[in-house]
């Protein structure tokens, strides 16, 4: 039975424990400005990894000509029906980082109530609880100030944004993503009945552990907080912290 390779990715998880190979699908939602290609680049994953199925948002990559979403609720309404197709008949979990976390949560809410294929688990990463509004904002700034503020928040900037021509193409979707994230606050106070795992980089200066723990109120099922090494964008260094967390939760 394969076991995950030793690494210091996640605290308080007994990674020495053997993990069964998985038949689950992990449907992944991108962070602000990101696309499905980020998750498609997760190649050569260990045998115990779930099948990674990225959900593409409009306004980027192969959906570049489409208008980006500007409201999380609208995004969840449009994307929820696509999840079952990506899962392809297998049990599935949802994963989202930062903006992707709140979209994944709203998708899970729709699938938890309409009976159209229910996630077995929700993984939310780099995000305070859904009832905590964003106090630090970048919307409305000029391009240079906007990019500097986003870089300050995330501690990370995609290399493509350094190219003036590519930046001009990418900025509309990034601005739309940041705007809808900053304006999001969950409307319903009702918790899900789906287990939730919240992840945050141990050195994340944008999302505190206490804010990650706010997700406990978003479910009546099992809940845990995990802290991989790294900052807000810890998952850009390696997918293994996410893969290990998912494998342990779904074993």
Q: Residues 75-101: pLDDT tens digits?
A: 999 999 999 888 888 899 999 999 999
Does 8 fall in a domain? no
What pTM does this model have? Answer: 0.86
Reply yes or no on whether 3 is catalytic. Answer: no
- CB neighbour class for 194 (10 Å; exposed up to 12, middle 13-18, buried from 19): buried
Tell me if 12 is assigned to some domain: no
Alpha-carbon gap, residue 211 to 215, rounded angstroms: 8
**61 domain-assigned:** yes
Cβ neighbourhood burial of 5 (10 Å; 0-12, 13-18, 19+):
exposed
Question: Could you tell me the CATH number of the domain that includes residue 235?
Answer: 3.40.50.1820
Containing structural domain, residue 146 = 25-250
Contact 130, 211 (CB under 8 A): no
- Helix (H) / strand (E) containing 193: none
Q: How many domains does the chain have?
A: 1
Q: Which of 3, 23, 37, 98 is catalytic?
A: 98
Contact yes or no for 53/74 (Cβ under 8 A): no
Render each residue's pLDDT in the chain as its tens digit; 251 residues. Answer: 344 443 333 444 333 333 455 568 999 999 988 899 999 999 899 999 999 999 999 998 899 899 999 999 999 999 999 998 888 888 999 999 999 999 999 999 999 976 658 999 999 999 999 998 766 776 777 777 877 777 776 655 666 667 777 777 788 888 889 889 989 989 899 999 999 999 999 999 889 999 999 999 999 999 999 999 999 999 999 999 999 999 999 87
């Amino acid at each position: 039975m394969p076991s995950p390779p030793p690494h210091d990715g996640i605290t308080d998880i007994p990674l020495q424990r053997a993990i069964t190979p998985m038949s689950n699908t992990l449907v992944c939602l991108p962070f602000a400005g990101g696309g499905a290609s980020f998750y498609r680049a997760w190649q050569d994953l260990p045998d115990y990894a779930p099948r990674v199925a990225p959900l593409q948002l409009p306004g980027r990559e192969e959906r570049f000509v489409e208008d980006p979403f500007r409201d999380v609720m609208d995004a969840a309404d449009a994307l929820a029906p696509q999840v079952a197709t990506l899962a392809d008949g297998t049990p599935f979990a949802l994963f989202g980082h930062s903006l992707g976390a709140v979209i994944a949560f709203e998708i899970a809410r729709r699938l938890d109530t309409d009976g159209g294929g229910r996630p077995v688990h929700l993984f939310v990463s780099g995000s305070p609880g859904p009832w905590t509004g964003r106090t630090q904002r970048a919307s409305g700034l000029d391009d240079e100030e906007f990019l500097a503020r986003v870089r300050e928040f995330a501690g990370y900037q995609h290399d493509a944004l350094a190219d003036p021509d590519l930046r001009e193409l990418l900025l509309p979707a990034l601005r739309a993503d940041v705007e809808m994230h900053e304006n999001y606050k969950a409307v319903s106070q009702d918790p899900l009945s789906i287990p939730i795992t919240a992840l945050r980089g141990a050195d994340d200066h944008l999302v505190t552990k206490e804010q990650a723990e706010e997700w406990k109120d978003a479910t009546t099922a099992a809940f845990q907080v995990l802290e991989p090494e790294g900052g807000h964008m810890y998952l850009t260094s390696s997918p293994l912290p996410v893969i290990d967390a998912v494998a342990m939760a779904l074993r």
